[in-house]
Amino acid sequence: MLPPCVDLRWSSEVNNFPPGQCLEAQGCGNRPCVLVVEDHEDSLMLLTCVLQSLGCFLVQAGCAIQALQLAEAYAFDLALIDIVLPDINGLELLRLLKLKQPTQEVVAIAVTALASIKYQAQIRGAGFQGYICKPYLLEDLEALIRYHLRSKLTHC
């Protein structure tokens, strides 16, 4: 397990975009811009693998505070958010993201091990449009991402 709030951003592209822009102005094409908030390296690796295979541009955060900072600079098409994070839980993180521009309308998918009906209701009630329970099949994750990014993944 990683220490709390480790910087998990792997791509040097992350730092090259001016605030409020993601891809278009930098010549990266029409790739969907996806925020991944995950504090476990193994889970992050799986999410990264699927998103890369779909041609998505990734911005990664190891904790909620880091995700909120990144939300100041990027316009995300999708956010994949772990619910149990080292600082603020994913439910509260989504609430805070919905208060900010440009993330007010972001589509959010909860990626969590909290599988009970009670948690599913809380996740939906918090404004998540999708939910996938760990452990998951990569095919199921890909299908969920494709569904929510269907208008952005026309090339795949």
Domain boundaries, the chain: 27-147
Name the helix (H) or strand (E) containing 104.
Answer: none
- Spatial neighbors of 43 by CB under 8 A, at least 6 apart, are 82, 111, 134
Give me the CATH code for the 27-147 domain, please: 3.40.50.2300
Distance of CA 58 to the CA centre of its chain: 8
Round the average pLDDT of the chain to a whole number and report it: 84
The CA-based angle 29-50-104, given to 5 degrees, is 60
Instruction: Report whether the peptide linkage leading into residue 135 is cis, meaning its omega lies within 30 degrees of zero.
Output: yes
Chain segment 3-35, per-residue pLDDT in tens: 344 343 433 333 334 434 444 433 345 799 999
- pTM for this entry: 0.82
Exposure b/e, 77-107, CB count within 10 A at least 16 = b = bbbbbbbebbbbbbbebbeebeeeebbeebb
- Please state the separation of Cα 80 from the chain's center in Å: 3
- For 17-26, 86-95, 111-120, which range has the lowest pLDDT when averaged over its residues? 17-26
Q: Is residue 63 predicted with pLDDT exceeding 50?
A: yes
CA separation, residue 152 to residues 31, 54, 57, 71, 78 (Å): 7, 10, 12, 20, 10
Q: Are 31 and 99 in contact (CB under 8 A)?
A: no
